[in-house]
Structure 1
Amino acid sequence: MAVLRVPADFRTVGEAVARAAPGDTIRVAGGVYAEAVRIEAGKDRLAIVGAGPGSTILQGPGSGVGFLIEGSGGVTIAGFTVTGFAEGIMISTSDNVIRDVTVSNCTSVGISAGNRALRNLFLGVAAGGNGREGLVASGQNAYVLNGEFFDNGGEGVNLIGFRHVAMGNRSRGNSAGLAGVNTNAVVLTGNSLTGNGAGFLGEGDLLYANAMVRNQRAGGELIFGAFSVVLENEVRCNYGPGLFLAAVGAFRFLRNAVEENGQHGMEMVAEATGNVVDENEVKENGAAGIRLEPLAVENAIRRNELKGNNPDIQALPPADTDNVFDENRVK
């Protein structure tokens, strides 16, 4: 294995990649590199390491892909700003690491991992000002950790597929902070979702200890059927409802703090059936604390603490008799 240096040994990053063997490291000094880099077969475990975001810049012409990883897996990209492409980083292989990278001002998606891209790690990435999503992960087992996603035209992070994890991310100013669409076994925990169109959109297997604050439409819009646990989230000061549920699928809402939202604290509309709403604090919302529309049936609303809502519980007939309301505390 060898360490190849740009521009000391090679004029461009692409030239260094062409000469690199599997497992090599390419060190890229600070500067602006007006090129697109393609990593094809025969470069497994290659590492391309810049001097840091804002120092080593891969500059695009408004089109194309900045880093295209295809044919080789286990590739590491670190320490770059990637800007001005159609898409900043595109991945079609598995076991890659994208860390400490900023992707900005791309006309389409900032970072994408395709349907066959498995077990890719996105650590400490920032994606902002892109035309569509900040990051889209399809396939399986994408791990999105400690990133920042801001002011993108689409979702900050969009997870499509199976067994993804998003943890410790900050997402603001996007059409939705985090989205899980057509997903299965997706874990979202410890994320800060602030000032987006919606904090969370879609479905997820576990939504735990996230903060959904000051979003425009809702703190969370759960609009697809899934078997999900929504546990100990802070859902506060959103301009619409705190949590909006329009899905069939045995959701369990447990111990969430749903407070000071502009509309209903928790709103369950036509298809919201078979859910459990237990031990939540629902306080000082602008409309009903917990509201069920007429066709929301077979739900259990129990042991919640409600205060200062208008009203605290509103169930439109026949939802007032087709659901269970037990041991709720209204102050």
Structure 2
Amino acid sequence: MAILRVPEEFCTIQEAVNTANPGDVILVEEGIYPEQVLITKNNIRLVARCRNAVLDGNSLLDFGFLLNNVSGVQVRDFMIKNYDMAGVYLNGGQANRVIHNNIINNDLAGIILNKSCRNMISENNVSQNDLGILATEAHHNWFVRNCACQNSQSGIFLGSGATGSNDNALINNHASYNESIGILAMGGNNLLLQNQVTRNQVGILIEDNNNILQGNIVKRNECGAVVAVSSENLYLANNVIRQNCGTGIELVNNQFGIIEENKIIRNKDFAIKGSVASASNTIIRNQLRLNSPGNIDLINPDNNVINSCLF
């Protein structure tokens, strides 16, 4: 393993990447780097020293880091701003790590994953972009402890493409003050666990089958808190959904779901609302309190409400 230093040994990050071999570390010192870095080699690490290395696209370049069909690459501790497409773009590839970066003011998204799988996206501040994190046909990824806030559309958007984005885990993320949806998940078998989703237009919108939403805090969103569309076998449990300006949980064409042990309190529409095509759902042991105009509005009678506290 070699350590390649920028700018001490190489004038640009791209020059260091071109020289690097698998296993090498590129250590980037404090400074502003107006470049677009293309990475086509596996198993290299790019680390900003003291988080003071800034990639600045000056609204002229498309991407800060473009990881093109690679695996085992790590991008860590950079500030990445002012790119026309994305701060970090993972195109194909797998098992890469984007960790502890500050990614702001990019036109399309802070981070994009396109058909890229089994990556770790963790502890990034992804704010003031169009979209915070965008995943298209991206599967088996981990999104952990990111802050996706103050974006002009959605904070985290999983989906798009022919198959959506499936089998992903979103854990302990903050999605707040986004102008559209906090977390939008289009795809199956996704896990949303212990996220905080506050003060967006809509809190969480989920579409497709076999998704789990557990232990999330969804509050003070301008419209609906949790909206599930065309989902079968949805498991929604132990969430705190409170003080939203719309419905707590809205089911649109959902079947065979379980809504269990949620606290749905002080929302300005029904706690749980279901469309005429939402049937065969089990609603059990929820605390539904002080929602206006009421707690449950299920049009289809073929749903089971069991042991819920309604007051």
Same fold (TM over 0.5): yes
Aligned position for 2:56? 59
| Residues 1:255 and 2:261 are matched in the alignment | yes
Q: How does 1:14-53 map to 2 (within 5 A)?
A: 14-40=14-40, 43-53=41-51
Aligned position for 2:170? 166
| Residues 1:218 and 2:216 are matched in the alignment | no
Residues paired across the two proteins, number: 300
C-alpha separation in 2, matches of 1:124 and 1:90? 17
Q: Secondary structure at the match of 1:177?
A: strand
Q: Secondary structure at the match of 1:199?
A: strand
C-alpha separation in 1, matches of 2:101 and 2:135? 15
| Residues 1:272 and 2:278 are matched in the alignment | yes
- TM-score, normalized by length of structure 1? 0.88
Quote how far apart the aligned CAs of 1:52 are. Answer: 4.3
In structure 1, what residue type is equivalent to 2:202? Answer: A
User: Residues 82 and 290 of structure 1: is their aligned pair in 2 closer, same or farther, counting only changes over 3 Å?
Assistant: same
Q: Secondary structure at the match of 1:15?
A: helix
1:290-312 deviation line (CA, Å, top 9, x unaligned): 1123xx241111111011xxxxx
Q: Is the 8 A contact 1:26 1:48 kept in 2?
A: yes
C-alpha separation in 2, matches of 1:170 and 1:178? 9
C-alpha separation in 2, matches of 1:269 and 1:98? 40
Quote how far apart the aligned CAs of 1:142 are. Answer: 0.8
C-alpha separation in 2, matches of 1:52 and 1:79? 7
C-alpha separation in 1, matches of 2:191 and 2:233? 12
Q: How does 1:108-147 map to 2 (within 5 A)?
A: 108-115=108-115, 117-136=116-135, 138-147=137-146
C-alpha separation in 2, matches of 1:248 and 1:267? 11
C-alpha separation in 2, matches of 1:52 and 1:140? 32
Please, which runs of 5 or more residues in structure 1 have no aligned partner? Answer: 308-331
In structure 1, what residue type is equivalent to 2:217? Answer: A
Match 1:74 to one of 58, 72, 75: 72
1:229-251 deviation line (CA, Å, top 9, x unaligned): 00000000001111111122311
User: Residues 137 and 100 of structure 1: is their aligned pair in 2 closer, same or farther, counting only changes over 3 Å?
Assistant: farther
In structure 2, what residue type is equivalent to 1:111? Answer: I
Q: Secondary structure at the match of 1:17?
A: helix
Aligned position for 1:303? 307
| Residues 1:283 and 2:282 are matched in the alignment | no
Aligned position for 2:181? 176
Please, which runs of 5 or more residues in structure 2 have no aligned partner? Answer: 160-164
Identical aligned residues as a percent? 25
C-alpha separation in 2, matches of 1:52 and 1:105? 21
Q: Secondary structure at the match of 2:230?
A: coil
Q: How does 1:79-94 map to 2 (within 5 A)?
A: 79-86=77-84, 87-92=86-91, 93-94=93-94
Quote how far apart the aligned CAs of 1:135 are. Answer: 3.7
Q: Secondary structure at the match of 1:301?
A: strand
In structure 2, what residue type is equivalent to 1:61? Answer: N
Q: Is the 8 A contact 2:69 2:94 kept in 1?
A: no
Which structure has the larger Rg over C-alpha atoms?
A: 1
Aligned position for 1:11? 11
In structure 2, what residue type is equivalent to 1:164? Answer: N
In structure 2, what residue type is equivalent to 1:274? Answer: S
Structure 1, 257-266 or 222-231: larger mean CA deviation = 222-231
Q: Is the 8 A contact 1:128 1:134 kept in 2?
A: no
C-alpha separation in 2, matches of 1:239 and 1:153? 20
